Amino acid sequence: MSKLKPHKGKLGILTPGMGAVATTFIAGVIAVRKGLGQPIGSLTQMDRIRLGKRTDNRNPKVKNFVPLAPLKDIVFGGWDIFPENVYEAAIHANVLDKTLLNEMKKELKKIKPMKAVFDRKYVKKLDGKYIKKGKTKMELAEKLMKDMKDFKKSNKCDRLVVVWCGSTEVYIKDSDVHSSLKKFEKGLRNNSKLIAPSMIYAYAALKMGVPFANGAPNLSCDIPALLELAKKTQTPICGKDFKTGQTLMKTILAPGLKARSIGISGWFSTNILGNRDGEVLDDPDSFKTKEVSKLSVLDQILKPKENPELYKDLYHKVRINYYPPHGDNKEGWDNIDIRGWLDYPMQIKIDFLCRDSILAAPIVLDLALFMDLAKRANMSGIQEWLSFYFKSPQTKKGLDPMHDIFKQKIKLQNTLRHMKGESLITHLGLDYYDEKK
Ligand SMILES: NC(=O)c1ccc[n+]([C@@H]2O[C@H](COP(=O)([O-])OP(=O)(O)OC[C@H]3O[C@@H](n4cnc5c(N)ncnc54)[C@H](O)[C@@H]3O)[C@@H](O)[C@H]2O)c1
């Protein structure tokens, strides 16, 4: 691994989409900077990492171990189809208390979105007027690149990172136009219908060597053409779909049941939520994108083909319903039918009253800081070590994504150890072996 470049200057974090998640992230970081709250849920800010042998007692905080950009050096920006500043958008999202937001009103009001690249064909439930005009998708990509250059200059940033926090787009299959950079660029010039706005943002960022993380389940940078571009410009990419609420629970619970060889015959998951994300997901085409992302998790963890006695007949269903009274406070129910010794049935019921954006905001922060670090460590292409944060981790072609959250965490920590030349830890050392040493 080549040398890690140190952090210097300012880091600009740009989010296409400045709705509930993005504004909760921005206001949250500013609140932490002002000492108004704790960055709970953020590994980069709260977690420690063990180094060396257990007896060495070396457990620094992650942020003191690797040279991450400190919160004080972050500048925020982004794009949206509505012109509201971050204060107004956060009030609209109704995630954080107004009293807390009012303490940061001045700073939040100054953060205004840039005009979006948007087309209703890809998010049918939304209709904003604050959008860029361009004859071709290539022209729109060029406008986004100009936005990034201008933002970097006017905010005196040393580096930028882009984290997609925009709405979930309709389901698009990986197709011929996505298969190579040449075909993709031709598609941009010809306004191919198979190129969604999120792909245009990803293209623009990667073309400029700006790391791109995708928080929604739409393909965005998960296509060969953009992987090729990421390699060409030596830029890190990762996605898809922030792992929050119900899927977070699933990837915590399923590895535990599997570890004890407990059978599972059914897992029914239903959600009700009433924020704008919920409204967008009420459209069957956007829901399809989310469903594909949510369903893949159990198969990969339980591997029914390898363990047919335990998981062959597993029935897995995911539902999402828009229910305005709940706002951003999603309710996720899971009914899990499990089987024990001699096939005796049992049930687990979970009712998770979660706050979606409260769980997603620290993920945006960690991804932005780690992607910036990856870039300074000369790591390009898919950052599989960040699978920890995603429902549907992007992987190299032919590889199954890893969903087990505990394996994902070990991979993340070992990547950090590797970056700093520390020995990797598998937690598999034998006591007997340790004693002999
Ligand atoms: N909150 C969570 O726990 C969670 C978890 C996983 C994934 N996500 C995904 O994160 C994304 C954001 O979620 P949210 O709750 O903030 O939704 P939201 O609806 O509050 O915010 C999305 C914002 O994106 C804007 N937008 C849509 N298309 C755009 C475009 N082309 N360019 C710029 N802006 C655009 C919308 O106007 C809106 O303000 C969604 O795709 C959601 O599915 C959220």
Residue type, 167: S
**Encoded tokens for 199:** 């792909």
Residue 269 CA to residue 86 CA, distance in Å, equals: 33
Pairing label, strands 315-322, 263-273: parallel
Q: Report if pTM > 0.75.
A: yes
- Which residue in the block uniquely carries the two structure tokens 């299959």? 173
Q: What share of the chain is helix, strand, coil (3-state, %, to 5)?
A: 45, 20, 35
The Cα–Cα gap between 362 and 343 comes to: 41
Per DSSP, the three-state class of 274 is coil
Q: Find the 277 Cα to ligand 1 centroid distance in Å.
A: 6
Which residue's CA is the closest to the ligand 1 atom numbered 18? 19
Asked if residue 374 lies in contact with residue 236, where contact means CB atoms within 8 angstroms, the answer is: yes
Q: For residues 23 and 89, is the Cβ–Cβ distance under 8 A?
A: yes
Quick check: CB of 357 below 6 Å from ligand 1?
yes
Distance 338 CA to ligand 1 centre (A): 35
Q: Omega of the bond prior to 240 within 30 degrees of 0, cis?
A: yes
Residue 276 confidence (pLDDT): 78
Q: Residue 261: beta bridge partners?
A: none
Alpha-carbon span 145 to 75, nearest angstrom: 18
Kindly give the confidence (pLDDT) of every residue in the chain, 437 residues in length, as a single tens digit, with 9 standing for 90 and above.
558 999 999 999 999 999 999 999 999 999 999 999 999 999 999 999 999 988 899 999 999 999 999 999 999 999 999 999 999 999 999 999 999 999 999 999 999 999 999 999 888 888 889 999 999 999 999 999 999 999 999 999 999 999 999 999 988 888 999 999 999 999 999 999 999 999 999 999 999 999 999 999 999 999 999 999 999 999 999 999 999 988 899 999 999 999 999 999 999 999 898 887 778 877 887 787 777 767 778 988 999 999 999 999 899 999 888 999 988 888 999 999 999 999 999 999 999 999 989 999 999 999 999 999 999 999 999 999 999 999 999 998 888 888 889 999 999 999 999 999 999 988 766 655 555 55
User: Which tokens belong to 270?
Assistant: 């239903």
Q: How far apart are CA 414 and CA 182, in angstroms?
A: 36
Q: Which of 163, 165, 171 to mutate to test the pocket of ligand 1 (most atoms within 8 A of CB)?
A: 165
Please give the distance, rounded to the nearest whole angstrom, from the Cα atom of residue 307 to the centre of ligand 1. 37
- Answer yes or no: are the C-beta atoms of 96 and 61 closer than 8 Å: no
Do residues 367 and 42 touch, judged by C-beta distance below 8 A? no
Are 176 and 198 a contacting pair, CB within 8 Å? no
186 and 39 in contact (C-beta within 8 Å)? no
CATH number of this structure's domain 246-353: 3.30.360.10
Which atom of ligand 1 is closest in space to residue 19's alpha carbon? 21
Ligand 1 atom closest to residue 242's alpha carbon, by position in its atom list: 6
- Fold annotation for 10-242+357-419: Rossmann fold (3.40.50)
Strands of 135-235 (E only): list them: 157-164, 212-214
Give the residue among 421, 266, 278 at the shortest CA–CA distance from 348: 266
Neighbours of 107 (CB within 10 A): 16
Instruction: Report helix, strand or coil for 282.
Output: coil
Q: In sequence order, which ranges of 103-166 are alpha helices (DSSP H)?
A: 105-110, 137-154
44 three-class SS = helix
Q: Residue ranges per domain, the chain?
A: 10-242+357-419, 246-353
What is the pLDDT, as a whole number, of residue 98? Answer: 97
How far, in Å, from the CA of 239 to the mean position of ligand 1?
Answer: 14
Q: Whose CA is nearest to atom 25 of ligand 1?
A: 17
- C-alpha angle 378-379-380 in degrees, rounded to nearest 5: 110
Contact 216, 243 (CB under 8 A): no
CA 430-48-217 angle, to 5 degrees, is 100
Encoded amino acid at 320, one letter: I
Strand order in the sheet with 315-322: 315-322, 263-273, 331-340, 344-353
φ and ψ of 391, to 5 deg? -75, -30
- What tokens appear for 29 in the block? 């970081």
Report whether residue 29 contacts ligand 1, using a CB cutoff of 6 Å.
no
